[in-house]
Amino acid sequence: MELFDILVSATFWAAVLRIASPLIFATMGELICERAGVLNLGIEGIMVAGAFAGWIAVYAGLPLWGGVAVAFGAGVAFGLLHGLLTVPLGLSQHVAGIGITMLATAATYFAYRVALPEVSSPPKITAFQPTGWAVLGSQTVLTWAALATVAVTGWVLWRTPLGLALRAAGENPAAVEAQGLPVHALRMGAVAVGSGLMAVGGSFLTLSAFNSFFFEMVNGRGWVCIALVVFGAWRPGRALLGALLFAGFDAFQIRLQQTSLGAGLPYQLFLAMPYLLSVLALVVMSRRTEVPAALMTPYNKGER
Amino acid sequence: MANLFLNRRQLLSRTAGAAALAGIAPGLLHAQGAPIKVAAVYTVPVEQQWVGRIHIAAEAAQARGDIDYSFSENVSNADYTRVLREYAEGGAQLIIGEAFAVEQEAREVAAEYPEIGFLMGSSFPPDEALENFAVFDNYIQDASFLTGIIAAAMSQTGNIGMVGGFPIPEVNRLMNAFMAGARAYNPDTEFQVAFIGSWFDPPKAKETAFAMIENGSDMLYAERFGVHDAAKERGVLAIGNVIDTQADYPETVVASALWHFEPTLDAAIAAAKAQEFKAADYGVYSFMEHGGCSLAPLGTFEGKLPAEAAAMVQDYMEKILAGTYTVEIDNSEPSA
């Protein structure tokens, strides 16, 4: 039974974690933004910028964790721009987000050309190596950081006053205001930190999954994370499950292609499988979810 | 072993000789007169392998003083015809590009500028009615066939993994030629074939390659970036495609099938200078007999090839160059 063999092999589960890691970072980033009431469609572009920023920083001589920090910083910068447009200025979050994606993508390409005007192929760095720890040694330390991010996000959002205030800013900003807390600052902060996490997710691709930067390598992963937030019903644990499920479908289809079943079916069907199954799971999972009530609603002090 | 594989200079000089003898283009390498203005429009950065080969050839021609070269990279398909028109209005005499995703639109632009030569990468044949629109592509099946022999000879398990971007003719015929070469050496060779549905997703290509290695492959055909890295990480071997990647992976890449755009470009420049540029398929200039492709030097794997395989490669190369053996051009989607 080939299908069963795939599912019980340790290498399959190692692949699931590898594929899921960038998605986990970026999904947590998007979840934080949306919990505070701001949809961030800049995610795809911010991931591109993060992938580039982390990689070029390491190439310039910084240590790997320095690269992660630079990527986070680049994400925060774009996050602040998105926050400025959507929170105090109250512009359409869809339009601003798409604009951020286009801006971040184009700015990344520009920076790439300025930094490396004459290259035959993008230079390689020494990426994070598998830790070699017992049992789960085939993962890099950045994968564990991704899992830790989920725990920290969950803890902050549900176990701290800050988390309560952030979630309230996404549910009922007027109540937050009545408590004397600054709605705009909370939302801006959430978008900045969330965007930073998205950029770290992008940098996973260049600092761990691969060791070089290619322009189109994010390849729609950001959009997947938008769906994963919905799948996870805006809860970190369930979003993690969604990311693992998506990655699982992906790792599974790659292996399935090489079985006798794969020989008979067009490869496009397999490539579409993680998306199709995720849509299906989305339908099943999100039937009774509660969307943050003030998501995509700008808040202006004193306005009724 | 030293003279087993021709280096590029030898190939080019042979090409020049062959071309002069055949009288295909008398001025092929010594085009006369002032440099002509050549513009190139690429849909991807010039780091990409395929486009990179064109870029290198054009820069060489500019260094020789044959052309004035300008280019735009990373032009989206939606913008493509606008950029083509800009160069056409700007006085370019020969425009090079890739029409794969904009076949009809590019041809429409060419029709508007009949005095300008368009040399476009294309999956379709030239159209006699559109006299200034010639097509080319990387027809390097000859070199791919030879790398297939080497791959089969170096594989212990007889299981070769192949990771491609999309199954389009450009990719398929090289994969098919590679598989034919591998089967010529070992008819029992097994293949794992997968497409990742993207040109630039090295992490995904790497994941796919990992899965193939776990499934028994000890030799990978690297059509995409990322496959070499998987091979290196797991200590298996790989074959390069279009560019020579051995310098970055000295213990991994056994051989590469190289594409040389120079013969294609030089023929087009000569034709444009002689005012004789017309609708033609320049694909043949990528054949080995024209110096359009070659086997990269074995380098770090020099002497590690079984003698039988080395003799076979040499034998087929001579036959291909002499025209007594033709590698089949098979554009259909390869399957395992």
Nearest residue in chain A measured CA to CA from B214: A11
* Mean of per-residue pLDDT scores for chain A: 92
Asked if the C-beta of A120 comes within 8 angstroms of chain B's C-beta atoms, the answer is: yes
Which of A204, A214, A255, A269 is the best substitution to test chain B (most B C-beta atoms within 10 A)?
A214
**Residue B77 contacts A, CB cutoff 8 Å:** no
Condensed to tens digits (0 to 9), the pLDDT of residues A113-151 reads 899 887 767 889 999 998 877 557 788 999 999 999 999
For residue B91, what is the DSSP state? T
CB contact B168 to A (< 8 Å) = no
Mind telling me how many Å the CA of B114 is from chain A's nearest CA? 34
Q: Does B220 touch chain A (CB under 8 A)?
A: no
Q: What is the per-residue pLDDT for A134?
A: 57
pLDDT given at position A261: 78
Angle at A17 between CA A280 and CA A72, to 5 degrees: 100
pLDDT tops 90 at residue B282: yes
Q: What is the pLDDT of residue B96?
A: 96
- Asked if residue A207 is part of any domain, the answer here is yes
Domain that holds residue A37: 21-115+139-220
Q: Please give the sequence-ordered ranges of beta strands (E in DSSP) within A68-135, or none if there are none.
A: none
**Percent of the residues in chain B that have a pLDDT greater than 90, as a whole number:** 78
Please indicate if any CB of chain B lies within 8 Å of the CB of A271.
yes
Q: Do A9 and B214 touch (CB under 8 A)?
A: yes
Chain B CB within 8 Å of residue A215 CB:
yes
Mean pLDDT computed over B205-222: 95
Q: Quote the Cα angle for B266-B271-B272, to 5°.
A: 100
> A209, B229: Cβ pair inside 8 Å?
no
Residue A155 covered by a domain: yes
Q: Contacts of residue B168 in chain A, CB cutoff 8 Å?
A: none
Domains of chain B: 31-136 (3.40.50.2300), 141-259+293-322 (3.40.50.2300)
* pLDDT value of position A133: 76
**B211 neighbourhood in chain A, CB within 8 Å:** 15, 251, 254-255, 258
pLDDT of residue A260: 78
CB contact under 8 A, B211 and A109: no
Judge whether A130 lies within some domain: no
User: What is the side-by-side strand order in the sheet with B67-72?
Assistant: B67-72, B36-41, B94-98, B117-121, B133-136
Mean pLDDT of the B204-216 span: 94
* The predicted structure's pLDDT at residue B7: 55
CA distance B212 to B216: 6
Q: Is residue A190 part of a domain?
A: yes
Provide, as residue numbers in chain A, all residues whose Cβ is less than 8 Å from the Cβ of B201.
Answer: 214, 216-217, 219
Q: What is the pLDDT of residue A32?
A: 98
Residue A153 in domain: yes
pLDDT band at B144, cuts 50/70/90? very high
Tell me the percentage of chain A whose pLDDT exceeds 70.
98
Query: How far does B131 lie from chain A, in Å, by closest CA?
Result: 34
Tell me the mean pLDDT in the region B133-150: 96
Give the highest mean pLDDT range of A91-100, B161-170, B271-280: A91-100
Q: What is the pLDDT of residues B22-81, one digit of tens each?
A: 444 444 444 457 899 999 999 988 888 889 999 999 999 999 999 999 999 989 999 999
Give A-chain residues touching B210 at CB under 8 angstroms.
Answer: 11, 15
User: Dihedral of the CA atoms A57, A104, A23, A247 (nearest 10)?
Assistant: -110
CA distance B192 to B268: 38
Relative to beta strand B219-222, strand B159-164 is parallel
Nearest-angstrom CA–CA distance, B73 and B61:
18
A vs B, Cβ pairs < 8 A, gives 81
Q: What is the pLDDT of residues A167-224, one digit of tens each?
A: 999 999 999 999 999 999 999 999 999 999 999 999 999 999 999 998 889 999 999 9
The verdict on residue A255 lying in a domain is no
Mean pLDDT in residue range B312-316 = 96
Helix, strand, coil abundance in chain A, percent, nearest 5? 70, 0, 30
Q: Which segment of A72-76, A277-281, B169-173, B240-244 scores lowest on mean pLDDT? A: A277-281
Whether residue B211 and residue A254 make contact (CB cut-off 8 A), yes or no, is yes
Quick one: which of B222, B240, B103, B245 has its CA closest to B165? B222
User: Angle, to 10 degrees, between the axis of helix B307-322 and the axis of helix B141-154?
Assistant: 170
* Chain A interface mutation, best of B48, B157, B193, B204, highest count of A Cβ atoms under 10 Å: B204
pLDDT at A302: 79
pLDDT at B215 over 50: yes
ipTM of the complex: 0.90
Cα torsion B304, B305, B310, B313: sign: negative
Phi, psi (5° rounding) for residue B134? Answer: -105, 155
Q: Phi-psi region for residue B193, left (φ > 0), alpha (ψ -120 to 50) or beta?
A: beta
Q: Name the pLDDT band for B128 (thresholds 50, 70, 90).
A: confident
For the segment A239-244, the average pLDDT, to the nearest whole number, is 94
Task: Give the model's confidence band at A267: pLDDT under 50 very low, under 70 low, under 90 confident, else very high.
Answer: confident
Give me the DSSP letters along A194-263. Answer: HHHHHHHHHHHIIIII-SS--TTTTTTHHHHHHHHHHHTTT-HHHHHHHHHHHHHHHHHHHHHTTSHHHH
* Interstrand relation of B293-295 and B253-259 (parallel, antiparallel or unpaired): antiparallel
List CB contacts (< 8 A) between A122 and chain B: 47
Three-state DSSP at B129 gives coil
Residue A9: per-residue pLDDT: 85
Nearest to A42 by CA among A86, A90, A89: A86
A138 touches chain B (CB under 8 A): no
Give chain A's domain count: 1
* B94-107 mean pLDDT: 93
Question: Average pLDDT of B282-288?
Answer: 94
Least Cα distance to A274 among A11, A15, A1 occurs for: A15
CB atoms within 10 A of CB A164: 16
**Interchain CB contact of A9 with B (< 8 Å):** yes
> Confidence class of residue B183 from pLDDT cuts 50, 70 and 90?
very high
Is A72 a domain residue?
yes
The answer to whether residue A109 neighbours chain B at the CB level (below 8 Å) is yes
On the question of pLDDT at A66 being above 80, the answer is yes
pLDDT higher at A82 or B74: A82
Binned at pLDDT 50, 70 and 90, residue B11 comes out as low
Question: Which chain B residues touch A47 with a CB distance below 8 Å?
Answer: none
Q: Is residue A271 part of a domain?
A: no
How far is B148 from A225, CA to CA, in rounded Å?
40
Using the predicted structure, report yes or no on whether residue B166 has a pLDDT greater than 80: yes
What is the model's pTM? 0.87
